[in-house]
């Protein structure tokens, strides 16, 4: 029998949690046994979107995902891998204001698109963890 699942399958879970910064979310995902969500394909992006909807999100607010970087160069911090699949909102990443936006969120303008934000931003609705299943 050939399994239809890829070797490394990620399950995504979104946690509603306001008032925390990017690296706090990063630590919480580690504590839960996963990593702040890495998104490496359109399929994974769709499943991250579903996890946020399941937690009551509608993308008018931001949800931290596990990307850090600048301009067009981002890595998935939980995997230490360059981000190749990208799904930014039009005009993003803009690294504004004043070049302090180095952490990624999903959720902008009611769409499940990405935006670069200040890593110290505390008004996100929550964050998404990925759990790698072998």
Q: Which residues make up the interface to Ca ion (CB under 5 A)?
A: 92, 94, 101, 115-116
Q: In the bound complex, which residue of the shown chain has the CB atom lying closest to Ca ion?
A: 116
Minimum CB separation of residue 106 from Ca ion in Å reads: 12
Task: Tell me the C-alpha to C-alpha distance, in Å, between residue 102 and each of 58, 67, 79, 83.
Answer: 23, 8, 17, 13
**Sequence-separated (6 or more) residues with CB below 8 Å from residue 3:** none
Give the residue among 12, 11, 25 at the shortest CA–CA distance from 124: 25
Nearest residue (CB) to Ca ion, 36 versus 119: 119
Nearest residue (CB) to Ca ion, 23 versus 131: 23
Minimum CB separation of residue 52 from Ca ion in Å reads: 18
């Amino acid at each position: 029998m050939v399994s239809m699942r890829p070797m490394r399958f990620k399950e995504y879970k979104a946690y509603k949690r306001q008032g925390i910064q990017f690296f706090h979310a990063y630590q919480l995902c580690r504590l839960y046994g996963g990593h702040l969500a890495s998104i490496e394909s359109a399929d994974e992006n769709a499943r991250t979107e579903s996890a946020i909807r399941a937690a009551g999100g509608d993308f008018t607010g931001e949800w931290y995902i596990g990307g850090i970087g600048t301009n067009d160069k981002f890595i998935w911090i939980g995997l230490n891998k360059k981000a190749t699949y990208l799904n930014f909102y039009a005009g993003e990443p803009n690294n504004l204001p004043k070049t302090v936006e180095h952490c990624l969120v999903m959720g902008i303008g009611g769409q499940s698109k990405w935006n670069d934000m200040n890593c110290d931003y505390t008004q996100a609705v929550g964050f998404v963890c990925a759990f790698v299943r072998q």
